[in-house]
């Protein structure tokens, strides 16, 4: 599973939601039962006010999302004497990286990815499995090749995969 690079992203909200079955018997009498994880399910809101589409505007970030893309689109590799290719680090603008990350996640049946954030319970840095809540990514165009967007992420759970995990 991939890890979303959130450098330069502003986390504007962290929330937790708990799954409860409730019954209201009237006159102030109620009953409830926790049916989900006692830790709850986390959700995050991210705001990206400035998302440049050029490495000249701000530094680029490492992009190893699709190695086939790197090799077929040119760049990111050198040829050896035998004609083979040696893959170098591939760099992308933040706008291109986020667009491709979103597309790849959705095309893989909304596959979860790792998100590294601070846990509000204890302040420790942890990796959570997460996915994009929306099925649409919208860029607001600020000016030529400069965008902004907001993202909604929700914690995911996968059988036999521990999440969250402490970042060491």
145 in a structural domain: yes
Domain count, the chain: 1
120 in a structural domain: yes
- State residue 57's pLDDT score: 46
159 in a structural domain: yes
CA 82 to chain centre: 39
Q: Are strands 165-166 and 125-132 parallel, antiparallel or unpaired?
A: antiparallel
118 contacts: CB under 8 Å, gap ≥ 6: 124, 125, 126
CA atoms of 156 and 146, how far apart (whole Å): 31
Angle at 17 between CA 44 and CA 118, to 5 degrees: 40
CA atoms of 70 and 23, how far apart (whole Å): 55
122 in a structural domain: yes
- State residue 96's pLDDT score: 78
129 in a structural domain: yes
73 in a structural domain: no
**Closest alpha carbon to 115 in 155, 161, 149, 59:** 155
Domain that holds residue 16: 10-23+30-61+92-166
- State residue 108's pLDDT score: 92
- State residue 122's pLDDT score: 92
74 in a structural domain: no
**Closest alpha carbon to 70 in 100, 108, 94:** 100
Over its length of 168 residues, how does the chain's per-residue pLDDT go in tens digits?
Answer: 899 988 878 898 999 999 999 999 999 999 999 999 999 999 999 887 666 565 444 455 565 665 444 444 445 555 566 666 555 556 677 777 888 889 999 999 999 999 999 998 899 999 999 999 999 888 776 555 566 678 899 999 999 999 999 998
Map residue 139 onto helix, strand or coil: coil
- State residue 6's pLDDT score: 87
85 in a structural domain: no
């Amino acid at each position: 599973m991939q890890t979303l690079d959130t450098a330069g992203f502003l986390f504007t909200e962290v929330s937790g939601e708990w799954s409860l079955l409730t019954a209201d018997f009237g006159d102030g009498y109620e009953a409830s039962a926790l049916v989900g994880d006692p830790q709850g399910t986390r959700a995050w809101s991210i705001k990206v006010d400035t998302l440049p589409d050029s490495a000249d505007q701000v530094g680029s970030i490492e992009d190893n999302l699709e190695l086939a893309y790197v090799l077929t689109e040119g760049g990111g590799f050198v040829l050896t004497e035998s004609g083979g290719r040696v893959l170098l680090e591939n760099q992308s603008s933040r706008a291109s990286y986020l667009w491709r990350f979103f597309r790849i996640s959705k095309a893989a049946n909304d596959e979860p990815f790792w998100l590294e954030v601070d846990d509000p319970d204890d302040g420790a840095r942890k990796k959570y499995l997460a996915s994009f809540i929306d099925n649409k990514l919208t860029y607001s165009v600020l000016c030529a090749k400069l965008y902004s967007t907001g993202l909604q992420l929700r914690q995911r759970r996968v059988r036999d995969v521990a999440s969250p995990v402490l970042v060491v």
